Structure 1
Amino acid sequence: MHAIILAGGKGTRLRPYTTHIPKPLVPLGDTYSILEVVLYQLRHHGFSSVTLAVGHMGHLIRAFVGDGSRYDLQVAYTDEETPLGTIGPVLTVLDDLPEHFLVMNGDILTNLDYSTFLRRHAATTRPVTVATYHREIKSEFGVLDVSEDGTTIVAFREKPTVQFQVSMGVYAMTREALRRYTPGQALGFDTLMLDLLGAGEQPGSDLFGGYWLDIGRPEDYDTANTQWATMAPILLPHLALTADALAQPSAAD
């Protein structure tokens, strides 16, 4: 099984943490970077090879990960000279990929079983399957439904809760679904979804109920570090990490 990890973004929303280090390499506690967690997880779930799509400060990621041997993975790289979006980097290596493969952001923490997710996708005829997560937003205000001319209230809801499913930033893809695009072009996940829906090729949704944290903002990163001692044994059970050991101060402290 093969995975493409998107690690080329500038991490603007996570500044100042990403001023001098790419977002996938920001540390969690005193143990691993986000990217290391992902690499260890992929190997644990049976993946043997990974392509890292790098761009901003990509040389640091190359120096840190190397050929992937310390993670027991074969790691290759593809470079973005200009931003290509979420799916654009995949197009540049499409001919080298297996029929079904994983694409994921390099800044998420989850205990999703990546191999089971990919196998479920491969057992369908879907062009793409998106790992999704349940979210809800509670309004701070009473919501009014009004007529088209805006003069009449037709319904009222006091501080309603809106429920929906969001993308986790993990996608199982079938190679042929991307053949219509030209390698080197910028292609976002949003465009891919709209193109597939417009062509009547409905993507799949695989709802996940475990742990998921998208580390996009400083408050998300703070949450990840606060939860790290508890979550590390769950995210990396095969490394025999214990919450007590992770909670101990480092020698530097």
Structure 2
Amino acid sequence: MTNNVWTIIPTGGEGTRLKPYTNEVSKPLVPLINNFPILELILYSLAYSADLRNFIFGVKGTKHYTNLQNYFQGGSGWSSKLQLEPQAHFEYQNPNYLDNGTADSALYNIKEYNLTTPVIVVQADNLFWGQEISDLYNIALKSRFPFVVGLTHTTEPNNFGVADFDSATKKITKFVEKPLANYAGGALVNTGIYIIKPEVFTYLEYDFGNNVLPKLVAKGLVGGHIFTHRWYDFGNPQEHLASAIDLLRKPSPCFENFLTRVCTIYETSKSRVWVRGRSSFSLARAEEIIARISAGTIKIEGDVFIGKDSVIENGVYLKDCALGDLAFVGERTQIIESNILDAWQIGKNCKITASFFGRGGTVADNVTIAGGFYGHNERIDQVVTLS
């Protein structure tokens, strides 16, 4: 794909469905694992797999603007960190323009940056195979439809816009936004990934799902393309946890490539461990953890991520989980199918299953947690069973 294609990413939502993780940061900066923001992995997927380099963040208000601008800046430092060539280029919506929805934000930026060719719109709370975005763009350029939607099949469609799609004509004939009806066997849903041609720019007002798509579908102007690879949604804590663990088990090519740039990998017949560490100190600690895994004093099963400068005591059992940077895990603790972000101190003899912890906190000794969803800077000192 040519590098003059622009991608617009609406980022101004409050992230109410993802609370408590959005209480302190904008939704796109909630980490996927460790302290890697969801948006960082989205951008890396688009840059690495789709060869995209020009991005506009549809921020709304100074909080969202300063959060994102402080992290990503103009793109050169971020590109250097991940060895991207040519470098990515980031622009920002004027934070004083308080848009009336995602489509209004897109139109504002199209006008502000004088975009006159087809644009890509992706959302800031889902991850995809970047190559499929490149394929979608090329298909859309040849399509008779001026607005083309990426579709995916899900067995739980009720949180999304469900599409009636004619596979022969590639035409979307109807959208039902977040339907109440049950769909046996699942349904095709809107991923929020769009290719929009200039001839329909004037239709962009308010929100894509509630306003733009119903108008364009009624005029017969919306086409669709079904993605064949997994689409990962991070819209609420439960979906976030399920997607993060699934990505560890079966990483997309771009996610695996991202991890190889920041981690040391250790594999056995029953496990794969990603231990973060590139500096001399962090690398030495990573190698020490790997040696103890090899010796059997730390038990690993499945796919596990361990952040840099972490301390894992003897007898710890980790299965299909992520531990962020600066973790401390006390002896004989078990962590199973859980996503623990960075800077947690977890006591000894604990058992944590199917849980998602925000950034920073402590867990006392002898605590059992099942199905726990905790925000940032939490202290947990009693047995919790939520599932």
Give the shorter-chain TM-score range: 0.7 to 0.9
Deviation at 1:83, TM superposition (A): 4.5
- One-letter amino acid of the structure 2 residue matched with residue 186 of structure 1: Y
- CA distance in 2 between partners of 1:25 and 1:237 (Å): 20
Q: 1:137 to 1:65 in 2, by over 3 A?
A: closer
- CA distance in 2 between partners of 1:208 and 1:180 (Å): 25
Match of 1:164 in 2: 187
- CA distance in 2 between partners of 1:14 and 1:105 (Å): 14
Q: 1:28 to 1:162 in 2, by over 3 A?
A: closer
Partner of 1:219: helix, strand, or coil? helix
Q: 1:187 to 1:221 in 2, by over 3 A?
A: closer
1:137/1:161 contact within 8 Å kept: no
- CA distance in 2 between partners of 1:87 and 1:107 (Å): 16
Structure 1 alignment gaps of length 5 or more: 139-158
* Structure 1: 4+ residue segments shifted above 4 A: none
- CA distance in 2 between partners of 1:188 and 1:233 (Å): 28
The superposition leaves residues 93-131 of structure 1 with CA deviations (integer Å, 9 ceiling, x where unpaired) of: 223224111001011011142111111101112111100
- CA distance in 1 between partners of 2:11 and 2:242 (Å): 21
- CA distance in 2 between partners of 1:38 and 1:106 (Å): 7
The superposition leaves residues 162-207 of structure 1 with CA deviations (integer Å, 9 ceiling, x where unpaired) of: 54211011111112202255xxx53433311121133x23301111
Root-mean-square deviation (CA, aligned residues, Å) is 2.4
Q: Among 197, 204, 223, which residue is 1:174 paired with?
A: 197
TM-score, length of structure 1 as denominator length: 0.81
Match of 1:152 in 2: none
Aligned 1:182-193 pairs, distance under 5 A:
186-193=206-213
2:203/2:212 contact within 8 Å kept: no
Match of 1:75 in 2: 90
Deviation at 1:245, TM superposition (A): 1.2
Q: 1:213 to 1:77 in 2, by over 3 A?
A: same
Matching of residue 90 in structure 1 with residue 106 in structure 2: yes
TM-score, length of structure 2 as denominator length: 0.55
2:206/2:212 contact within 8 Å kept: no
1:229/1:244 contact within 8 Å kept: no
1:6/1:104 contact within 8 Å kept: yes
1:84/1:188 contact within 8 Å kept: no
How many percent identity over aligned positions?
21
Matching of residue 126 in structure 1 with residue 145 in structure 2: yes
Matching of residue 49 in structure 1 with residue 54 in structure 2: yes
2:45/2:128 contact within 8 Å kept: no
- CA distance in 1 between partners of 2:203 and 2:273 (Å): 51
- One-letter amino acid of the structure 2 residue matched with residue 76 of structure 1: E
Q: 1:160 to 1:133 in 2, by over 3 A?
A: closer
- One-letter amino acid of the structure 2 residue matched with residue 205 of structure 1: G
Deviation at 1:15, TM superposition (A): 0.4
- CA distance in 2 between partners of 1:40 and 1:127 (Å): 27
Match of 1:227 in 2: 246
Q: Among 180, 196, 202, which residue is 2:216 paired with?
A: 196
2:9/2:122 contact within 8 Å kept: yes
Matching of residue 103 in structure 1 with residue 110 in structure 2: no
1:132/1:207 contact within 8 Å kept: yes
Match of 1:62 in 2: 69
- CA distance in 2 between partners of 1:87 and 1:212 (Å): 22
Q: How many residues align?
A: 229
Match of 2:274 in 1: 245
Q: 1:85 to 1:234 in 2, by over 3 A?
A: same
Structure 2 alignment gaps of length 5 or more: 80-86, 158-181, 266-271, 276-303, 310-325, 328-387
Highest RCO, 1 vs 2 (Cα 8 Å, sep ≥ 6): 1
1:13/1:216 contact within 8 Å kept: yes
